[in-house]
């Protein structure tokens, strides 16, 4: 096993709780606090971190790595590098690959590609239905028992709209404490052409409407199915105030529901669509400002559990079309932390402890990743993210580590930047460079 020299991180603000020294030895946090320097063995490297914030490694519940099948848009390696630069130590790779991740063999392929790359832990998400067709359950049990140990299942990109199939999936995953992550989109209310929040703007732009109720009715149905089955359900990329209302009610009833929100739904609104720029075509669509404000408040108060990127790379020939013909999705791994820092922390809505909760602890718990999200505590694996909270950067899409360039943040100034990422004691990214480039 590869070993890495001991490292003493000196003076970092540990998740907003005050400055402390943190000693990392053999991939584990050995000491936190004033005694950390005393305990440091011979040969320990020292990293001055005054003014920086130390977080547990970030965990992304919702990443599209495109491999196998669309390696022209992204590979597990390039996506992992982008994730490391964004402060992530674990990502969950969605199942809409080619072939679909609906079998143990494909799940293990993705898992092994992640281990080979070595920048982040890559955990495949299994499809709920075979071929994402919504007709027959995929090999849920086999994927769960495989060496990939799949615990999250989703047909993301498509809704599991058949209530009977959704119920069966929820019942099945209970046996191994799995969870179904739902792309909430009733296809009878918002079909595959829907691409703009339904309202005055969609009418004025002449774009097919994607009404909020198409999301909200599925969320409402699924929380009731979760109550009926006694199982868990996770709501992917929540985008409307109505969905927040349903999730808040369900949690008050004791229903085991969790939810995520994307960085782009926290910052961007439907007004971006006025110029018909396909970069901003995403599913679910960007919503009105009033929904955005509700999403921010729900993340801050814990109704929404986690931030998830929905990183969705696309090659130019799939994205650079008329708005209605372009592919859905935008990049997010490298900019998620700065967006949350800008929108939530700099505005005073959340502190760094909340960032640790929503971008590390909660997503790790939802995905049942026992070695992630443990916090900056003695004995925990050294999955760490060091952040410069005051650094202002202007996003340059041409510098993205992703193979694709559908970056909605290009030219925007964001506050907060990832300084260093560490996976089991190995520095995987530092000041814009990934492991292997900083020698």
Neighbours of 18 (CB within 10 A): 9
Angstrom distance (rounded) from CA 59 to CA 315: 25
DSSP E strands: which ranges in 296-412? 306-307, 384-394
- The contacts of residue 206 (CB under 8 Å, 6+ apart) are none
Catalytic residue among 60, 121, 291, 310: 310
Neighbours of 328 (CB within 10 A): 18
Instruction: Report the b/e string of 363-400 with b at 16+ CB within 10 A.
Output: bbbbbbbeebbbbbeeebbbbbbbbbbebeeebebeeb
**Longest pairwise C-alpha distance within the chain:** 68
Strand partners, 10: 48
Token pair belonging to 105: 């063999």
Angstrom distance (rounded) from CA 206 to CA 221: 31
Among residues 110, 58, 46, 115, which one has the least CA distance to residue 84? 58
Token pair belonging to 89: 């130590």
Three-state SS at 293: helix
236: left (phi over 0), alpha (psi -120 to 50) or beta: beta
354 is catalytic: no
For residues 386 and 54, the answer to whether their CB atoms sit within 8 Å is yes
Active site residues: 310
């Amino acid at each position: 096993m590869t070993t890495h020299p001991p490292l003493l991180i000196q003076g970092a603000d540990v998740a907003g709780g005050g400055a402390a020294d943190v000693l990392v030895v053999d991939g584990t946090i050995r000491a936190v606090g004033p005694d950390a320097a005393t305990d440091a063995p011979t040969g320990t490297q020292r990293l001055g971190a005054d003014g920086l914030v130390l977080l547990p490694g970030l965990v992304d519940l919702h990443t599209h790595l495109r491999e196998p099948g669309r390696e022209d848009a992204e590979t597990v390696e390039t996506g992992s590098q982008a994730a490391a630069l964004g402060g992530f130590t674990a990502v969950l790779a969605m199942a809409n690959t080619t072939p679909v991740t609906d079998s143990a063999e494909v799940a293990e392929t993705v898992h092994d590609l992640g281990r080979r790359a070595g920048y982040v832990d890559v955990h495949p998400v299994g499809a709920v239905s075979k071929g994402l067709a919504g007709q027959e359950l995929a090999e849920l049990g086999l994927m769960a028992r495989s060496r990939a140990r799949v615990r999250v299942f989703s047909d993301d990109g498509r809704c599991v709209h058949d209530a009977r199939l959704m119920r069966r999936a929820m019942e099945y995953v209970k046996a191994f404490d799995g969870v179904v992550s739902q792309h909430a989109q009733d296809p009878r209310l918002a079909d595959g052409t829907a691409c703009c929040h339904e309202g005055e703007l969609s009418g004025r732009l002449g774009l097919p409407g994607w009404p909020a109720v198409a999301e909200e009715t599925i969320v409402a149905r699924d929380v009731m199915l979760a109550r009926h089955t006694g199982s868990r359900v996770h709501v992917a990329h929540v985008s409307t105030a109505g969905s927040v209302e349903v999730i808040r009610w369900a949690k008050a009833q004791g229903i085991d529901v969790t939810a995520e929100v994307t960085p782009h739904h926290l910052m961007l609104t439907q007004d971006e669509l006025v110029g018909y720029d396909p970069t901003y075509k995403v599913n679910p669509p960007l919503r009105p400002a009033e929904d955005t404000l509700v999403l921010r408040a729900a993340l801050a108060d814990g109704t929404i559990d986690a931030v998830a990127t929905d990183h969705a790379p696309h090659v130019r020939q799939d994205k650079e079309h008329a708005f209605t013909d372009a592919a859905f999705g935008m990049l997010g791994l490298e900019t998620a932390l700065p967006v949350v820092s800008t929108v939530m922390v700099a505005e005073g809505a959340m502190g760094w402890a909340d960032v640790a909760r929503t971008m590390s602890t909660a997503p790790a718990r939802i995905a049942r990743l026992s070695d992630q999200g443990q916090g900056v505590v003695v004995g925990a694996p050294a999955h760490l993210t060091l952040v410069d909270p005051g650094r202002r950067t202007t996003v340059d899409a041409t510098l993205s580590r992703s193979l694709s360039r559908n970056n909605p943040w290009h030219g925007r100034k964001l506050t907060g930047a990832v300084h260093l990422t560490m996976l089991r004691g190995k520095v995987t990214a530092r000041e814009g460079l990934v492991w292997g480039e900083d020698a």
